[in-house]
Amino acid sequence: MVTFGTKIDAPKTRGPDDSRGYRIFRVVNTVVLLGVVVVTLYPFLNIVARSLSEEAYIIAGKVSVVPRGFDLTAYKLVMSDSLFWTNYRNTVVYTVVATLISIVLTTCYAYVLSKPQLKGRGVLVGVALFTMFFSGGLIPNYVLVTSLGMKNTIWAVVVPNAISVFNLLVMKAFFESLPTELEEAAAVDGLNTYGILLRIVLPLSKAIIATMVLFYAVSFWNSWFTAFLYMDQQDLLPVTVYLRNLIAGATDAQQSGAADADVVQAAATLQAVTIVLTTVPILAVYPFVQRYFVRGVMLGAVKG
C-alpha cells in the first residue's frame, strides 16, 4: 500500500490517499478505535475496582475504575470459603480430563477423515457435519445422560461434548496439508497405521495440537451449563456454577423486595471478587496463547 509521509507535500503531488478528507478520517478512525479499546476494557477495570473497594463507596455509586477505600475483606471472605476452592479444583480436573478425551477422539477421527482414498470416508465426514446443523436438543440429551447413570459424575461434563465438529474440521484440514511422502516412506519401512500416526504425524502436528488443546481447554474451563444441569451436589460443581449460584442468589434477594439491602450489597462485592478470581487465569495466559487461537480460526476457514 501507499506509504504516508508526515511531511506536508505540495498539493499537486498528493494522491487521493493523501487528501484532506482521508487525513481527517484517519484521526477519527484512531479515536474510534481507542474508544473500542476503552469500552472493551472498562468492565474489567470496573470489576477490579469494585472488588477492591469498601462496601460504602460501592453502595454510594462512587466506584468506576479506581478502587475507593481500599478493602480486602471480600477477598479474604471468598478465599476462606472451602467450597470455592473445591469448585475451583473441580474446574481444573474437569478441564484437564475433558481436554484429554477430546484431543484423543478428535485427533483419531480427523486423521481418518484426512485419508482421501479411504472407502466410506464421505459417510464418516457426513456423520460429523450433519450434527453441526441439527441436534437432538436439550431434553433428549438430558434423558440420555440421566439414563446412562452419568448424573453427578464427572462423565456428564467431560463426555457429551467431547468432539467439536469445528475443531475436527480444523485438524482434518491440517492433516490434509501434510506431505504424503513421509507417511508413504514410513509405510514402506514397515510402520503400521498406529506407528505412522504416533511417530510421524503427531510430531509434525505439535502446533495444531497445541491450538486444539487451547480451544478445548478454554471451552471446558468456561462451560457451566452441563454441570448446572447434571450436578446437584455442591462439591461437584465447577467454579463457573459457583459464580452462577452467587449471582442467582443476589438476583433472588433483589426480587424478594430486597429484604436486606446489606446482603444484596455484600453479594455485589463478593461477586466482583469471584469474577476477578475466576478470570485471572484466563487473563494470565491470554497474551501468550492469543495468536494460536487466531491461527486456528483461520485454518478452520480455509477448508472444511
Number of neighbouring beta carbons within 10 Å of residue 111: 18
Q: Are 63 and 53 in contact (CB under 8 A)?
A: yes
User: Which is closer to other proteins, CB of 16 or CB of 80?
Assistant: 16
Query: Which residue is listed with cell 462485592?
Result: 269
Spatial separation of the C-alpha atoms in residues 44 and 51, rounded to whole Å: 11
Closest distance of CB 70 from other proteins, Å: 18
CB 234 to other proteins: min, Å:
16
Give the contacts of 258 (CB within 8 A, at least 6 positions apart): 264
Q: Residue 73, interface with other proteins (CB under 8 A)?
A: no
Binding residues among 149-188 for other proteins as defined by CB under 8 A: 159-160, 162-163, 169, 174, 177-180, 184
Contact between 223 and other proteins per CB under 8 A: yes
Q: Decide if residue 99 touches other proteins (CB under 8 A).
A: no
CA within 13 Å, CB half, 73: 11
Stretch that binds other proteins, among 68-76, 77-85, 92-100, 106-114 (CB under 8 A): 106-114
Q: Which of residues 115-144 bind other proteins (CB under 8 A)?
A: 115-120, 124, 127-129, 131, 133-144
247 binding other proteins? (CB under 8 A): yes
**Nearest-10 Cα torsion for 255, 261, 267, 269:** 130
Q: Minimum CB separation from other proteins for residue 72, in Å?
A: 18
> Hunting for cell 498406529 — which residue is that?
194
Of 255, 257, 284, 288, the one binding other proteins by CB under 8 A:
255
209 vs 41: CA distance, rounded Å: 30
**Quick check: 221 binds other proteins (CB under 8 A)?**
yes
